[in-house]
Amino acid sequence: MPGHSTSTAYVRQTRSEKGVTVWGPKIASHPSVGILCVACGQPLEVGSVTVLIPVGPGSSLEQQEKCRKGVSYNAVAKEVHFTCATGVSVDEDLLSSLETYNSSEEELS
């Protein structure tokens, strides 16, 4: 489907918030910039804060078997806006904590 893609995000841009891993804010070179959010249909933009929503095991027979057994498996996921997934607005406190987290990760690399 044009405009839709499963994408990966950079680990150094993550933090846990509301029980989900938060990605962002997006930088211009991020591969998911321009991809449409499957929840609202609007593009992910520079500055967007997103989360990955697991869809299921996908077409992998091995992952399907693990899913049926109730054990951990690698899920196909779609990236959506944080607000679309949680109903919580992205505020200055969240952005500030992401910037702090990103800075501390950069110091480690």
29-66 tens-digit pLDDT: 999 999 999 999 999 999 999 999 888 999 999 999 99
Instruction: Label residue 75 exposed, middle or buried (CB < 10 Å: 0-12, 13-18, 19+).
Output: middle
- CA–CA separation, 55 vs 17, rounded Å? 20
pLDDT attached to residue 61: 96
**Residue 72 DSSP class:** -
Query: How far is residue 34 from each of residues 2, 5, 26, 42, 53, measured CA to CA in Å?
Result: 11, 10, 11, 9, 18
Model-level pTM greater than 0.75? no
pLDDT attached to residue 7: 40
pLDDT attached to residue 102: 54
Alpha helices by DSSP H, listed for the chain, are 61-69, 82-86, 92-108
> Which band of pLDDT confidence, cut at 50, 70 and 90, is reported for residue 9?
very low
